[in-house]
Amino acid sequence: MTISLLFGVHAHQPVGNFPAVIDDAHVRSYGMFLRVMERYPEFRFSVHFSGWLLDVLFERFPDDMARLAAMTRRGQVEWFGSGDCEPVLAAIPHCDRVTQIATLSDKIERCFGMRPAGAWLTERVWESSVVPALVETGIRYVAVDDYHFLCAGEDGARLDSFYTTEEDGRCLDLFPISEAARYRLPFSPAAEAVAWLEALASQGHRASIYFDDIEKFGIWPETYEWVFEKGWLTQFVEGVLASPLIRTDTFADFHAREKTRGIVYLPTTSYIEMNEWTLPAPRAAAYHALVDTEKAAGRFELHKPFLRGGIWRNFMSRYPEANWMHKRMLGASQRLAALPAPQRSAAMQEHLHRAQANDAYWHGLFGGLYLPHLRRAVWNNLLALEATLATVAPAPTFESVDLDHDGHLETVLRNGHLQAFVRDDGDATLVELSSLVLAHNFGDTLRAYGEAYHAKIDQAQTAHAEHGAGIASAHDRVAFLHAIVPGDATPDLRPRGIFLDRLCSADGPLRALDDYRAGNREGTWIAGGEGWRLEKSYRLEADSLSVIFRTEGDAFPALIETELNLALPSCDGYGGRYVLASGDIPGGFGQPLELDEMLQLTLDDSELRGALRIETGLPVRLKAQPHRTVSQSEAGFEKIMQAVCIALAWSPLAGSEQRITLRVIPAT
């Protein structure tokens, strides 16, 4: 009896990723993989490329895309669809699921002459709510992990074919991706991998189902040498083709030939590592310890289906910044959907699709929430869409609503240039300040969080000192990209906002001013104590936002300090610099800066295509420093600059008024 090898690879790069990163991925992985596979027309396999990546590859590597098209025409390659910009389908509205899937299917059909019947699920996040949109767009089957099936109570020995599920009467077939295959290919020697497949054939298995990241073929540590220079991929392909017990099939051919194993209903889940990443740090540590205990006792494989961790949507409750971005995206989607069809454009739809790209909404070993350039790509597209919407269906200039469902109202101020969102949570700070002209959110920063993997910092330093950087497995790799000590990972006690206030008495330390309450006038908040009162008001004026601090009473604290956490594209790069009123440049954004008696400072950023100017009515003392977070990626621990943290301090007088203005200056 022969076994069908259903071999699929998934290729994706985040919207907004650096061109050099994409070029490197293609040179070391995508292009090399295609050139090897081109030599073996009999080896049939499936591919999924996210639509945004396809657009980039057609522009930058047209010869390899022509090679892939030829392989498709000769029947060697089957295409899988998905959302065009790789959203987590479960996290976007039904109407956007439909347009995302249809956009990529149309693109694949136009470029490669095949309309997908199968779909890749981003990060293998399964929720049954996605079934109707998949079916509505012509998708007949998807691939998810065999772990999903084990969590539903299915017998692992029977996960060698597809099953059928339904939602609201709409049926979709599900292929279980073999974890054993994912761990073997391409990491075990090619001959051993072929022998393993032959052993499955001799045991009567119908199929071995493999679908995983193509980056494992050339980009993961040590894989380029192993897969291409030492010839693993060539040896594996030739070994499979030479075996009388293995046949290569596309998912489409296998699906047409075989019958379903039966009905199944999967729980909401993703792959097991993702389920751990979704948990808050203390829970993640407890979960990891439980898994280690089960492994040490030899019970893990038996109990694994019952050790699920969290779900992908937990990232919205773990990280308020991700939740804010997500709810703002949902609001823009609703505004676009409410437009009459003639007023919608392809460009507006494209901006929304790009703002739904998954990478910037989550954090784990491979997630991109900690990467400012990926969050910035979401905000750039979201704000470009809102700028267009403002011309055809303007939003209110003032409203008060709990946009992110955290129990606190946000006061929203808008004009044709700026949008400001102030959260009524006691801090009365800006959670977003966006320029529609520059399509940039100056509030797009990330506070420092305690992460479960921070416990590895001491271990990482010891390993680095004794053994050098890292080990082969990306999941277990312990390495440094920057010098890091435990104190660098201290979590923030307050959110990172714009105009986050503190007070200081004559003989005491600074303390948080976090008991503001909404005033009677729009955009105004009040705080106070015995013998003093402070009024804080936000005002939009064309291309500037002003905050006016008015003090009353004889017992006012000795010092007011307000903190501005400002996100700019060149935070840690060469394009960001401070410019004094005199025109002098005292340093870049990544350097500390102290000024006395300051009235004006410009934050100039070449990548922003503009600048942000701080102007004060009364002289202030300024201290600026970079705000960095510590995170772990597949390459190791790294520090990432999230924002410029600027503290402005002054000694108020009773009855005085301090006006601080942030003025957006587009490049000329």
Q: Which residues belong to the active site?
A: 123, 213
Q: How many CB atoms lie within 10 A of CB 321?
A: 22
Nearest Cα neighbor of 509 from 551, 566, 557 is 557
* Gap between the Cα atoms of 526 and 517, Å rounded: 5
CA 308 remoteness from chain centre: 22
* Gap between the Cα atoms of 140 and 289, Å rounded: 40
Give the tokens for residue 336: 């676009």
CA angle 331, 336, 341 (to 5 degrees): 160
CA angle 70, 75, 79 (to 5 degrees): 80
Give the tokens for residue 661: 């203005």
Give the tokens for residue 199: 């052993």
* Gap between the Cα atoms of 590 and 611, Å rounded: 16
The residue with tokens 């108020």 is: 652
- Strand, coil or helix: 114: coil
Nearest Cα neighbor of 67 from 43, 42, 31, 40 is 31
Give the tokens for residue 648: 């402005």
Contact 470, 478 (CB under 8 A): yes
- Name all contacts of 436-439 with Cβ < 8 Å and 24+ positions apart: 436/383, 436/386, 436/387, 436/390, 437/387, 437/543, 437/610, 437/664, 437/666, 438/608, 438/609, 438/610, 438/664, 438/666, 439/379, 439/380, 439/381, 439/383, 439/384, 439/387
